Chains A and B, each alone.
Chain A
Amino acid sequence: MAVRIPKPKHNFSRTMTFWERLWLPASLRGLRVTLKHFFSRNITVEYPREKPEVAPRYRGLHRLKRDEQGRERCTACMLCSYVCPANAIHVVPAHATGPERELYSEERYAAVYEINMLRCIFCGFCEEACPCGAIYMGREWETADRDLDHFIYTKEMLLEPEGTPLEFTE
């Protein structure tokens, strides 16, 4: 059975009819459209006064997560640092052998965990690469600052405070 190809509704190659060349009917239709927009709601968000609602899975500022017992999840496997296309993540691993072991979910932990937010492109690869569910991108996005040094986010700034309820967007 032959397949029937529907004819296009408009034949764009034909010459315009007299009515179309008059220009006025089309203009009036256009005027109607714009008038509708004149009375429709503005979509502007007046930013400092109003804040836009970001999507639930928005890729904002990174958060380092804790596990059920409030221990740091990160094991300094360096996958995030490796996958980062902007080379924004700097991790220095260390081993917890003493009493501080109870702070971390594994023996290996990140002694230094820094993200350079000026390099970060918020692609979310770190979040995807992390095998421990330690790094997530939150919904915080107002990161402007006057000082360049403030854009290197240290582990203390990224880590969730203790007692933060477990909550994964995944």
Chain B
Amino acid sequence: MSETLIALLIDAAKAAVFVGVLMAWVAYTTFGERRFASFFQDRIGPNRAGPFGFFQPLADGFKFLFKEDFVPKFADRLLYRVAPVASFVPTIVLIGVIPFGPDLVIAGRRIPLQIADPNFGVLYFLAVASFSVYGVIMAGWASNNKYSIMGGMRAAAMMISYEVSLGLAVVGLILVAGSTHMSTIVAQQDTIGGWYIWQQPLGFLLFFIASLAETHRTPFDLPEAEQELIGGYHTEYGSMQLGLFQMGEFAHMVATCTIIVALFLGGWHFPMPAFITGDPNLYALAGAAVFSVKTFVMIFIFIWIRWTVPRFRYDQLMRLGWKVLLPLALANALVTALVILL
């Protein structure tokens, strides 16, 4: 077997495994969301399916599959079908550049726990993350429903106002790191004191807030405001198409949390005893576990915020995006650049 073929096979296997793991995370994030929401509201939540309700995601999935696949009469059939996929796929593609742990060593071959490490890693994330909004707009348009198109328009407007701040918030970090390689950025944060959240606290805060908006989480879940828009862009959707939208949303959240962890919270770095760091494979697994724990904490914070902070009004959101986050992000980038220059 040629060297290229082996490399290709390894990459394919990695992609399959990572996507599988991501889907498991997505499934259990939906479950976690419901369970944690209940705890925040002094309820118990879904605890019937299996121990502690652990099979609830399976039950939800089967429910979606058994529902009638329905296209409204006046919908744009093609766009209506394409939209869920268009909003789901980019969120999976997002995890392509994230380093989940140190390199595995199998049969003398170093296998980085990262599908691809392009030199535009951070930019790749910024570019792909905004793609999922196309699906949302398509869904809003194709549904031929006033509420849906409102949701789609809101998603578009929000994406424009937040994508800028999201991008500018990482500019400071890129300046400090001197690289847009995800693996390099993570490798630089090998001590807790070296995590970029300490050097870029404002950048982290802005990035975090913009990420909430990016993933359409409360307090920025205007595109799907249940109370005003009856679900917004996916009002007309049912069956697995709705399931795809929801999975896409949760996948987006998980992927965004992994990005935050990788960029600001030191990725898979955490002080570990020498016997773990000595064995590369053990180190890789431990690193991946640390990464998972950090991601879980971020997801928990996302859920925690969702069940605390009420939704912004549309004009408040625009004001926050353009008049607060954008100037702050610019100032952050400017100050960081000045400090580095001096």
A31 and B39 contact, CB distance less than 8 A:
no
Q: Which A-chain residue is minimally distant from B44 (CB atoms)?
A: A44
B42 and A30 contact, CB distance less than 8 A:
no
Chain B positions within 8 Å of A30 at CB level:
308-309
Q: Pick from B36, B39, B42, B308: contact of A27, CB below 8 A.
A: B308
Chain A positions within 8 Å of B320 at CB level:
23
List A100-148 residues whose CB lies under 8 Å from chain B.
Answer: none
Closest chain A CB from B113 CB (angstroms) = 32
Chain A positions within 8 Å of B10 at CB level:
none
- B119 interface residue per 8 A CB criterion: no
Closest chain A CB from B310 CB (angstroms) = 9
- B293 interface residue per 8 A CB criterion: no
Chain B positions within 8 Å of A37 at CB level:
39-42
A38 and B39 contact, CB distance less than 8 A:
yes
Q: With contacts A27-B309, A30-B309 known, is A40 near B42, CB below 8 A?
A: yes
- B67 interface residue per 8 A CB criterion: no
- B305 interface residue per 8 A CB criterion: yes
Closest chain A CB from B153 CB (angstroms) = 24
B40 and A42 contact, CB distance less than 8 A:
no
A interface footprint on B284-306 (CB within 8 Å = 1, 0 otherwise): 00000000000000000000110
List A20-38 residues whose CB lies under 8 Å from chain B.
Answer: 23, 27, 30-31, 33-35, 37-38
Q: Which B-chain residue is minimally distant from A43 (CB atoms)?
A: B42
B44 and A42 contact, CB distance less than 8 A:
yes
A34 and B307 contact, CB distance less than 8 A:
yes
- B73 interface residue per 8 A CB criterion: no
B39 and A42 contact, CB distance less than 8 A:
yes
List B295-342 residues whose CB lies under 8 Å from chain A.
Answer: 304-305, 307-309, 320
Closest chain B CB from A54 CB (angstroms) = 21
Q: Pick from A23, A34, A40: contact of B308, CB below 8 A.
A: A34
- A4 interface residue per 8 A CB criterion: no
- B109 interface residue per 8 A CB criterion: no
Chain A positions within 8 Å of B39 at CB level:
37-38, 42
Closest chain A CB from B220 CB (angstroms) = 12
Chain A positions within 8 Å of B36 at CB level:
38
A31 and B41 contact, CB distance less than 8 A:
no
B305 and A31 contact, CB distance less than 8 A:
yes
Closest chain A CB from B204 CB (angstroms) = 13
A34 and B304 contact, CB distance less than 8 A:
yes
Q: Pick from B41, B43, B44, B304: contact of A35, CB below 8 A.
A: B304
List B22-64 residues whose CB lies under 8 Å from chain A.
Answer: 36, 38-44
Closest chain B CB from A127 CB (angstroms) = 34
B40 and A38 contact, CB distance less than 8 A:
yes
B interface footprint on A132-167 (CB within 8 Å = 1, 0 otherwise): 000000000000000000000000000000000000
A23 to B44 CA separation, bound complex (whole angstroms) = 30
Q: Which A-chain residue is minimally distant from B316 (CB atoms)?
A: A23
Closest chain A CB from B161 CB (angstroms) = 16
- A170 interface residue per 8 A CB criterion: no
List A78-104 residues whose CB lies under 8 Å from chain B.
Answer: none
A30 to B305 CA separation, bound complex (whole angstroms) = 9
Closest chain B CB from A104 CB (angstroms) = 51
Q: Pick from B38, B42, B43, B304: contact of A31, CB below 8 A.
A: B304
B308 and A33 contact, CB distance less than 8 A:
yes
Closest chain A CB from B314 CB (angstroms) = 16
- A46 interface residue per 8 A CB criterion: yes
A41 to B39 CA separation, bound complex (whole angstroms) = 9
List A25-69 residues whose CB lies under 8 Å from chain B.
Answer: 27, 30-31, 33-35, 37-38, 40-44, 46
Closest chain A CB from B42 CB (angstroms) = 5
A41 to B308 CA separation, bound complex (whole angstroms) = 18
Closest chain A CB from B199 CB (angstroms) = 20
A46 to B38 CA separation, bound complex (whole angstroms) = 14
A108 to B235 CA separation, bound complex (whole angstroms) = 65
Chain A positions within 8 Å of B43 at CB level:
42-44
Q: Which A-chain residue is minimally distant from B309 (CB atoms)?
A: A27
A41 and B309 contact, CB distance less than 8 A:
no
Q: Pick from B40, B44, B305: contact of A46, CB below 8 A.
A: B44
A27 to B311 CA separation, bound complex (whole angstroms) = 12
Q: Could you list which residues of chain A lie within 8 angstroms of chain B, going by C-beta atoms?
A: 23, 27, 30-31, 33-35, 37-38, 40-44, 46
23 contacts between A and B (CB under 8 A): A27-B305, A31-B305, A31-B308, A31-B309, A33-B308, A34-B40, A34-B304, A34-B307, A34-B308, A35-B304, A37-B39, A37-B41, A38-B36, A38-B39, A40-B42, A42-B38, A42-B42, A42-B43, A42-B44, A43-B43, A44-B42, A44-B43, A46-B44
Q: Could you list which residues of chain B lie within 8 angstroms of chain A, going by C-beta atoms?
A: 36, 38-44, 304-305, 307-309, 320
Given pairs A31-B304, A43-B42, 20 additional interface contacts (CB within 8 A) = A23-B320, A30-B308, A30-B309, A31-B308, A31-B309, A33-B308, A34-B40, A34-B304, A34-B308, A37-B39, A37-B40, A37-B41, A40-B42, A41-B42, A42-B39, A42-B43, A42-B44, A43-B43, A44-B42, A46-B44
